[in-house]
Amino acid sequence: MADVVSLADRRSGSKPVCFDRIELRKLLDVYSRRVATGEWRDYAIEHRPDMAAFAIFRRAYDQPLFVVAKYPPGSDRKGTYSVTAGTRKLSHGWSIDDVLQVFNRSLRLAT
């Protein structure tokens, strides 16, 4: 069931971190290449005040294989972007191009 949120409360809160159009194009480019090979099948996007996340799934009902996260400017992280696989941090950096390089390698999830 959906939660009811007051518009006045929503407007006074902090704005969520979001991926811009260029970042989404780059994320979906990597995603579509892996879908074409049959490795990935689903994704989800979440925008929150503390981060935006692009989660990649092998199947719709599984846990995410990878999560590409974007953090707000000024956060005390080692970069604005990161890629994680479960609890392991695979990459972090200041540009989305830097962190997406991890998918250009022959990266396979060990099962």
Q: pLDDT tens per residue, the chain (111 residues)?
A: 567 766 655 555 678 889 999 999 999 999 999 999 999 999 999 999 889 999 999 987 889 999 999 998 776 666 689 999 999 999 999 999 999 999 887 656 666
Structural domain span for residue 53: 16-103
Can you give the pLDDT at residue 97?
94
Residue 32 has what DSSP assignment? H
- Domain count across the chain: 1
Closest of 82, 52, 78 to residue 66, by C-alpha? 82
Q: Which residue carries 């994320």 as its tokens?
A: 27
User: Which amino acid makes up residue 49?
Assistant: P
Asked if residue 98 is part of any domain, the answer here is yes
Can you give the pLDDT at residue 73?
79
Asked if residue 9 is part of any domain, the answer here is no
Q: Which residue carries 């939660």 as its tokens?
A: 3
Asked if residue 28 is part of any domain, the answer here is yes
Asked if residue 10 is part of any domain, the answer here is no
Can you give the pLDDT at residue 54?
97
Asked if residue 49 is part of any domain, the answer here is yes
